Amino acid sequence: MAATLAVAGAALPGSPALAVNASHTTVVGTNPVDWTPHALDGTVHRILQIGNRVYVAGTFTKVRNAGQSAQLAMPRLVALDATTGRIDTTFRPQVNGAVKALAAAPDGRSLYIGGAFTTVNGTAASRLARIDAATGARVAGFTTPALNNQVNDVRLVGNRLIVGGAFQTVGGVTRRALAAVNATTGAADASVNLNLAGPRKTTSGATAPVKVEALDVSADGTRLVFAGNFSTVAGVARHQLAVANLSGAGATLSGWATDRYQPQCARSMPSYLRGVDISPDGTWFAVVTTGAAFPGTLCDAAARFEFGTATGGKQPTWANYTGGDTLLSVAVTGAAVYVGGHQRWLDNPQGRNSAGPGAVSRPGIGAIHPTTGKALPWNPTKDRGVGTGELYATDRGLWVGSDTVTVAGEYHARLAFLPLP
C-alpha cells in the first residue's frame, strides 16, 4: 500500500485549493462515509484539500486507517487520499508543535502551515513554514522572520500570505496579531500593517494579549474579515471584528463596522469570537461565538452580516442562539451555514443553559438556513467534548474535525466526512 501511495503522491495536480468553502446547492447527508482514518489523540484543528489529497492538522500524535488496527506515529500533520481515505505514509513532515493553519501554495504542489511549532524537519521554523505537498520536505527558498507567538489562521492572496494569530512581533518588528509575508520567499511584507490594539478587559480584570482568532478572505481577494481580541484597528474603534480592503498595494481598514461585539460576555472571557467565514459569492459572512447566554448580546450565537455599503452601525441579518453553549467553527456553502462547537441546541434565544421555547436539539454540529437564520432539519448528531473546531466544505461534501470520536452514532475519531447526496 505504501508503494501505491508513493506513486499517487508524485502525481499531485497543479491547481491550488479553493480560497473559500465550496458552494453547494443542497445540504450534505447525515451518514458519514466509512473510510475516513482516525486520529487517536489530541485534536484536529484544520483540514485542507489540494487535488485528491486531504491534509489534516492539529495536536494528534497517532493515527490509523479505517478498518485497520495498526497505529501510525504521524504527529500533527497527515495527508490522505480524498477518495479512499488511506493515509499516505510517504508524507512525513516532522513538526514539533501544534499545527493550526493550512493554505495551498500557488503551485498546487506545496502548502503553508502555521501554528505553535518552532521547528519543521529539525530546522528552525518559527510558527510558519512552506512544505512539499507530496513528501512534507521544506520548500527551498522560503524562510520567514520569527513570529514570537502562535499562528491561528492563514490565507493566500496573490503573492501575499496573510497571517493571523497571537504573535506581537514579526522579525523583531511590532506587528500585533495580523501580518503578511511574501508567498514565494517568506520575507516580511509591510503592506499589511493595520495596527491592531486595545486588548479587551472584563469587569473581573480578565484580559489577554491582542490576537486574531480567525480570518477569511473573499474569493476575489478584495476583502479580509478578521476576528479576535482587539478594540481598535488603524486607530479606529473596532470591537473584536473588522473588515479590511485588500489591493496590490496593501491593506486598508474598511468603513464597515459593528458595535454588536463591544459588550462583555462571560467575565472570564475578554474576547469571545471564535470563527468567521465568507459566503462563496462574497456578499456576506457568518460569525460564531462563545461566552455564555446574555440577553441582548451575540454571545453563544451564530450571526450573519452583509458587507453592503461600508458604513458603521451594522446589525446582523439574523442571529441563531445556542442558549449557553460555545460555537467554535462555521462554514458557509450557500445551501447552509454549518456550525460546530459543543452546543446542545440551536433556535434557542431564551435558553439559559437549558432548552427554551422553540429550541431544537443539534448536539455538536448543526446547519442554519442562510436566509431565515433558523435551524435546518439536518441533524447527524455528534458527541460534544470541547467541540467541533473545524468545518471544511469541498465539492464532494463536508469535513468535520474535533476532539471527539462519535458522529451519527458511529466511531469516527476526530475526523469525519459527510458527503453530498
Task: Give the confidence band of 36 by pLDDT, cuts at 50, 70, 90.
Answer: very high
Would you say residue 1 has pLDDT above 90?
Answer: no
Where are the domains positioned within the chain? 2-419
Residues 381-411: tens digit of each pLDDT: 999 999 999 999 999 999 999 999 999 999 9
Q: What pTM did the predictor assign?
A: 0.95
- Which class is domain 2-419? mainly beta
Which pLDDT score, from 0 to 100, does residue 9 have?
39
What's the grid cell of residue 28? 450534505
Q: Residue type for 54, please?
A: V
Task: Give the confidence band of 7 by pLDDT, cuts at 50, 70, 90.
Answer: very low
Could you please report the per-residue DSSP string of 223-266?
EEEEEEE-SEETTEE--SEEEEEEETTEEEE-S----TT-S--S
Q: Which residues does 324 contact at the CB level (< 8 Å), separation at least 6?
A: 292, 293, 300, 351, 352, 353, 354
What's the grid cell of residue 221? 481577494
Q: Average of pLDDT values for 183-203?
A: 97
Residues 108-137: tens digit of each pLDDT: 999 999 999 999 999 999 999 999 999 999
Cα 113 from Cα 11, distance rounded (Å): 21
8 vs 289 pLDDT, higher one: 289
Strands (E) located in 248-313: 250-253, 273-278, 284-289, 301-306
Residue 7 burial (C-beta neighbours within 10 Å; 0-12, 13-18, 19+) = exposed
Which pLDDT score, from 0 to 100, does residue 279 have?
97
Cα 340 from Cα 364, distance rounded (Å): 6
- How is residue 373 annotated by DSSP? -
Residues 239-257: tens digit of each pLDDT: 999 999 998 789 999 999 9
Which pLDDT score, from 0 to 100, does residue 19 have?
58
What's the grid cell of residue 210? 491582542
Q: By the 8 A CB rule, do 60 and 43 touch?
A: yes
